[in-house]
Amino acid sequence: MTFKKGPAVGYLVTLVMGFALAFSASVLADRHNSENRGLPVDEMRMLAEVIDRIKTAYVEEVDDRELIENAIKGMLTGLDPHSDFLPPEAFADLQESTTGQFGGLGIEVTMEDGFVRVVSPIDDTPAFRAGIQAGDLITKLDDTPVQGLSLSEAVELMRGEPGSSITLTVVREGQANPFELTIERAVIRVTSVRSRMLEPGFASVRISSFQQNTAADVVREINRLREEANGELRGLVLDLRNNPGGLLSASVDVSDIFLSDKLVVYTESRIPNNSFRYQSRRQTLLPDLNLVVLINGGSASASEIVAGALQDHKRAVIMGTQSFGKGSVQTIMPLSQDSTALKLTTARYFTPSGTSIQGTGITPDILVDQGSFTAQEVRLSREADLQGALQNGQAAADDAVDNADDGRLRDQDYQMYEALNMLKGLAILKP
């Protein structure tokens, strides 16, 4: 087959080559290694020929802009599950999500084998209340199959007017058949930090996502807990379960609350001057408070940065199950046309000990699966049961321990119950 360079092909070659040159110049302008500067002219001609064939022979007429955007999406989605092309609507949605308010279902997702994989539902959102779980695969959005969509296209379909509904077809490990969940969309207002006293002297702070103000919110909640404990806060559970991540800077700031003058995370990139080391400050709020961090398979990205830093510096005991394993950094690169942008994976991040968690995740120091607990009391004879046993001789204590609250925590959240037990042990060993 002969390649005939007609006017349309010549125009498209110029267009595609111009786009590639502009992109190469903006991202790699300061690269000193020249061996990769040349563009594959034959392959660019092939791309232009494919576009020309589509324009002239496809069964329906296709807009030039749509073709070029599809070519860009294909380039990016073929790289990894997190790189993507962001049209104006998706770019605006991404900017909204980092400030803590946006419209939709309330789930963090990624692409896996052509399907949408749920990284984590966000607390107190429609998806959370409907029973969506970390690890679920979404195969259809209403009547639209997910396969063939980009991540941004799938996310766009899940968003919509508050009050409108969407039906998700879900495949879940352990269930033989797919099932459907109909969820009503809502305005998602993410409260990223919550706290509570578990029992006197011991508290938990839950972070559901890392946003601009997360570290300041954590400090506020810890100060409130210390007041509630009359200054006798003896231990804290930092709950990062089902936290899909968020802003890298926020994860560094949260780590800084517990680490003094320590390396938190570092990144390695192919772009010169784009590899960074993030350090905690010398003065920190809680350098010594007994700390347990809870993670699970829905803990990803920024959550893993915090858990990895605290684990490497032996600042906290990490409990729960293996984390998600997203150890890559995405950079948002605004483009010059129509408020569009690229979300491009530009670096890997490493824990302070030099461990990359990409694809493997953080391994807990103590593995605790979430499950139900069934108590079984075995009554053995004691000294007081023996005939003629001596009496104690002291008055019985008036402040007998009431284990009712402890039992409720155990039944409702077994991982948190075990984290509390660990804190009690740490408080005994290190008051």
pLDDT in tens, 55-64: 899 999 988 8
H or E element that contains 229: none
Residue 430 covered by a domain: no
- Percent pLDDT > 70 in the chain is 84
- Chain centroid offset of residue 192 CA: 12
367, 393, 426 - which closes a domain:
367
Q: Mark whether 224 and 332 lie in a shared domain.
A: yes
Residue 73 covered by a domain: no
Catalytic site residue from 301, 303, 323, 328: 301
Q: Which two tokens stand for residue 219?
A: 């400090």
How far apart CA 72 and CA 296 sit, in angstroms, is: 35
Q: Which domain holds residue 182?
A: 86-97+101-189
Q: Mark whether 221 and 362 lie in a shared domain.
A: yes
Catalytic site residue from 312, 328, 343, 413: 312
DSSP, res 136: P
Higher pLDDT, 1 or 308: 308
Residue 420 covered by a domain: no
pLDDT tens-digit series, residues 252-272: 999 999 999 999 999 999 888
Catalytic site residue from 84, 208, 209, 326: 326
pLDDT tens-digit series, residues 182-199: 999 998 877 789 999 999
171, 189, 207 - which closes a domain:
189
Q: What is the phi/psi pair of residue 108, to 5°?
A: -95, 130
Say if residues 327 and 265 touch (Cβ distance below 8 Å): no
Q: Which two tokens stand for residue 412?
A: 């409702």
Say if residues 309 and 260 touch (Cβ distance below 8 Å): no
pLDDT of residue 271: 85
Active-site residue, 326 included: yes
Q: Mark whether 208 and 178 lie in a shared domain.
A: no
Q: Mark whether 296 and 257 lie in a shared domain.
A: yes
Residue 381 covered by a domain: no
Q: Mark whether 271 and 354 lie in a shared domain.
A: yes
pLDDT greater than 50 at residue 120: yes
How far apart CA 393 and CA 383 sit, in angstroms, is: 14
Active-site residue, 411 included: no
DSSP, res 390: P
Residue 413 covered by a domain: no
User: Lowest-confidence range among 90-94, 226-230, 310-314?
Assistant: 90-94
> What pTM does this model have?
0.72
336, 367, 398 - which closes a domain:
367
pLDDT of residue 230: 92
Residue 338 covered by a domain: yes
Residue 197 covered by a domain: yes
Q: Which two tokens stand for residue 416?
A: 């948190």
- Chain centroid offset of residue 95 CA: 16
Say if residues 245 and 324 touch (Cβ distance below 8 Å): no
Residue 402 covered by a domain: no
Q: Mark whether 264 and 171 lie in a shared domain.
A: no
How far apart CA 394 and CA 396 sit, in angstroms, is: 6
Number of structural domains found in the chain: 3
How far apart CA 22 and CA 200 sit, in angstroms, is: 61
pLDDT greater than 80 at residue 153: yes
